[in-house]
């Protein structure tokens, strides 16, 4: 990218970040479940300026057949960025980074999905990033878990994800694109709120043990906030305004 504003103030003296947020504030998030007709389950998320759509198929037959497992179902995940998702055209062919994020999302979802109920089948998750602005893996994970629930695939818990990080020697919640580029650390966290288990933890940067602890706590708090939004998205789709 390069050519960044060298005078960019990531955190001012009042504790306000470069995009006007407070230290422990996430970007504006909205999720809508069931946006695609042809997929078994789907979700659309707007996470700040990130726009991501997720479609889920399955459980269904595994093709190619040799990938199937007689003991359990398998989970497959494709993360893809549209050519127009970033400022300079992105080659639509899967890059190293996309393959890796697909793997990371798959592994973050796996503890939640009860695949052992469907031996010899596959659950496919397709993540399409329409617009990227930092933190797409977390946003994609949030949408993917809503889409899986929408598809009616049994899950132990939803997976909520949010990043925490360090800019200007301060631990912050939900690292934006500028903060990611110029900041000191970025830590995406995936979390199952009801089970209290972490399913994704990555760290780019250097943190002291104390900072690390604080960073995880901050991230988990963010995940809990996002969980409420995911919950609302599912309730809006399935229950409307009805009461039992």
Partner 1 sequence: MGDNKRRYVIPGEVITTGPYRPEQNVILEDKKIIATKVGISEIYDDTVKVIPLSGMYIPKSQDLVIGKIVSHSSLSWEADINSCYAGMLPASDVFGRNFQPDSEELTSKLAKGDLIVARIVNFDRSRDPLITIADRELGKIDSGELVRISPSKVPRLIGKQGTMIQAIELGTNATITIGQNGLVVVACDTQVGLLKAKKAIRMVDEYAHMPNLTDKIKEMLESKSE
What are the phi and psi torsion angles at 44 (to 5°)?
-125, 130
Closest Cα partner for 149 from 219, 223, 239, 70? 239
Distance from the first to the final alpha carbon of the chain: 53
Q: Whole-number minimum distance, CB 202 to partner 1, in Å?
A: 23
- Shortest approach of partner 1 to residue 81 CB, angstroms? 28
Measured from the CB atom, is 98 or 157 closer to partner 1? Answer: 157
Report the distance separating Cα 14 and Cα 23, nearest Å.
10
Contact of 159 with 109, CB cutoff 8 Å: yes
CB of 31 to partner 1, least distance (A): 12
215: number of CA atoms within 13 Å, CB side?
Answer: 27
Count of CB atoms within 10 A of residue 79's CB? 27
Residue 226 in contact with residue 46, Cβ under 8 Å? Answer: no
- Shortest Å distance, C-beta 36 to partner 1: 13
CB of 131 to partner 1, least distance (A): 27
Residue 88 Cα to chain centre, angstroms: 23
Please name every residue paired with 197 in a beta bridge, in sequence order, or none if there are none. 192
What percent of the chain is helix, strand and coil (3-state, nearest 5)? 30, 30, 40
Nearer to partner 1, 105 or 132 (CB): 105
DSSP 8-state class, residue 70: S
C-beta separation of 109 from 199 below 8 A = yes
Which residue number, 68 or 82, has a Cβ lying nearer to partner 1?
68
State whether residue 24 is helix, strand or coil: coil
Residue among 87 and 194 whose Cβ is closer to partner 1: 194
Nearer to partner 1 by Cβ, of 8 and 114: the residue is 114
Q: What is the nearest approach in angstroms of partner 1 to the Cβ of residue 85?
A: 29
Binding site for partner 1 (CB under 8 A): 40-41, 58-61, 70, 112, 114, 117-121, 149-158, 192-195, 231, 234-235, 238-240, 242, 244
* Shortest Å distance, C-beta 64 to partner 1: 16
């Amino acid at each position: 990218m390069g050519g960044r504003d060298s005078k960019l103030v990531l955190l001012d003296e009042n504790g306000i970040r470069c995009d006007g947020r407070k230290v422990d504030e996430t970007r504006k998030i909205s999720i809508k479940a069931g946006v695609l007709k042809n997929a078994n389950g789907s979700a659309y998320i707007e996470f700040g300026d990130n726009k991501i759509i997720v479609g889920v198929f399955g459980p269904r037959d595994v093709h190619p057949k040799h990938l199937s497992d007689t003991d359990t179902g398998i989970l497959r995940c494709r993360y893809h960025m549209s050519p127009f998702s970033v400022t300079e055209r992105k080659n639509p062919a899967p890059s190293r980074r996309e393959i890796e994020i697909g793997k990371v999302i798959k592994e973050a979802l796996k503890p939640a999905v009860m695949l052992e109920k469907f031996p010899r089948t596959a659950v496919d998750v397709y993540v399409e990033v329409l617009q990227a602005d930092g933190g797409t893996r977390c946003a994609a994970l949030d949408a993917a878990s809503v889409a899986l629930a929408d598809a009616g695939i049994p899950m132990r818990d939803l997976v909520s994800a949010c990043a925490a990080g360090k800019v200007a020697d301060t631990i912050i919640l939900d690292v934006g694109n500028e903060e990611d580029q110029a900041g000191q650390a970025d830590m995406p966290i995936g979390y199952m709120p009801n089970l209290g288990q972490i399913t994704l933890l990555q760290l780019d940067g250097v943190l002291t043990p104390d900072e690390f602890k604080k960073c995880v706590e901050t991230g988990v708090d963010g995940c809990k906030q996002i969980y409420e939004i995911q919950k609302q998205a599912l309730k809006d789709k399935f229950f409307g305004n009805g009461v039992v």
